[in-house]
Amino acid sequence: MKIYIEGYGCTLNTADTQIIKNSVNEFEDFELTDNVDDSDIIVINTCIVRQETEHRMISRIEYFKSLDKKVVVAGCMAKALSKKIENLADVLIMPREAQHSGNILKDKLLKDCSEKNNESTQNLNFEDKLNEKIKKVSSQGLITALPICEGCLGSCTYCIVKRARGNLASYDRDLIVKKAEELVKSGTKCLLVTAQDTACYGLDNSDSLPNLINDISEIPEKFAMRIGMMHAKFAEPILDELIESFKSEKVVKFLHLPIQSGDDQVLKDMNRNYTVDEYISVLNEFKSKIKNLNFTTDVIVGFPTETEEAFENTLEIVKKIKPDFTHAAKYSQRKYTKAAILKQVDTKIRKERSEILNELRRELSYENNKRHIGETFEILVTKDNMGVTDNCKNVIFEEPAKIGEFKRVKITGAKTFGLSGKLIN
């Protein structure tokens, strides 16, 4: 049977989509196809982080169902909103089951097939076999996502992803390092170390993110690794070791540290478990010790308890911390979350605040990029006349260069969300 697989969402979910493909590929009964019309089974790996994303997922699932094919819903929607799709999906695959997708599909959809390679899903203990997931990660080319754990230790009142991915479960460090080495040797030049919260890696098994970074850094080949989003609360206890690990030449000088709000009361209502001052303390340590740090943050506007004063506080804090890039999002009401039952801020106000923040974030991004003019960076050439600096900024250049090579570039110009430069021989 031919299977078409489509994936959406964050870097972590992108990795899961590849894991699903790799699991399916292990079975002779299945053949992957890039043509949905040619398929017998359609797998959609879903994202539901925002309400509009959820609506898009349901619309896509309904379309697939209209094609009169078997429809398999995987990912966050399968776990967190299963009742919404119970009449649309023939099979559900949970986020922690991606590595068993081939087994699940064979057990549920090919009951009459040969028992060869088959292990009934009734006998699978997915929690016990979670480390099997990291084993099924494979190279996605020049840049590959490397998941390091499932779930998180937070309980943010606006977030539905916790319901989908659960509590923290870290992969074994040795297995991650072995996989990283395998990916690098197969041609990957940049590892995207990813999780819901990379800072909490290892807190469930007496390990830590700095230990993991240090071990991956010892892989001798030439490559870079970008550490994904981390929560300030969990970064703070390991801060000294974490910053030291970031000094490795293998680590991209990039920090994704969401603040979400610049108002202490709103942060408390979000259950972020840090104050503005505590957040800034963590950030300033990074900024003072890591040269040319590219700092990215996330801000939610229009959270139910965000007053006009609270929003103004957020704007002032964003001006103070000066992110290189800000993911600015209007609050999205999500089912099963504590924030969803609060009185909501009018959508018009949310839109107005979002527009104000968007203008500010663009100004700050441009200011930050201008400071790099005249500086020299190492880049990874990712496309023709385009690369990514060693602090994760896109740069364009005119000179010819081979994709996959590391080059040096002198920055000659800046735009809001990128740089231009000239390659140095």
Q: Which domains are present in the chain? A: 2-109 (3.40.50.12160), 375-424 (2.40.50.140)
pTM for this model (two decimals):
0.94
Unique residue bearing structure tokens 């922690």:
96
Whole-number percent of the chain with pLDDT over 90 = 94
pLDDT value at residue 147: 97
Average pLDDT value over all residues in the chain: 95
Rounded Cα distance between 253 and 393, Å, is 10
Backbone phi and psi for residue 52, each to the nearest 5 degrees, phi listed first: -65, -30
Under a CB-based contact definition with an 8 Å cutoff, are residues 152 and 231 in contact? Answer: yes
Under a CB-based contact definition with an 8 Å cutoff, are residues 25 and 32 in contact? Answer: yes
pLDDT tens for 245-304 read 999 999 999 999 999 999 999 999 999 999 999 999 999 999 999 999 999 999 999 999
pLDDT tens for 294-307 read 999 999 999 999 99
| 235-243: average pLDDT | 98
Tokens representing residue 5 in the block: 């697989």
Task: Tell me the residue type at 241.
Answer: E
Tokens representing residue 258 in the block: 């969401």
Query: Confidence class of residue 112 from pLDDT cuts 50, 70 and 90?
Result: very low
Under a CB-based contact definition with an 8 Å cutoff, are residues 5 and 34 in contact? Answer: no
pLDDT value at residue 117: 43
Rounded Cα distance between 99 and 9, Å, is 18
Rounded Cα distance between 98 and 95, Å, is 6
- Pairing of the two strands 376-383 and 325-330: unpaired
pLDDT tens for 115-162 read 444 444 444 555 557 889 999 999 999 999 999 999 999 999 999 999
pLDDT tens for 30-66 read 999 999 999 999 999 999 999 999 999 999 999 999 9
Backbone phi and psi for residue 368, each to the nearest 5 degrees, phi listed first: -65, -40
pLDDT value at residue 113: 47
Residue 291 CB burial class (10 angstroms; 0-12, 13-18, ≥19): exposed
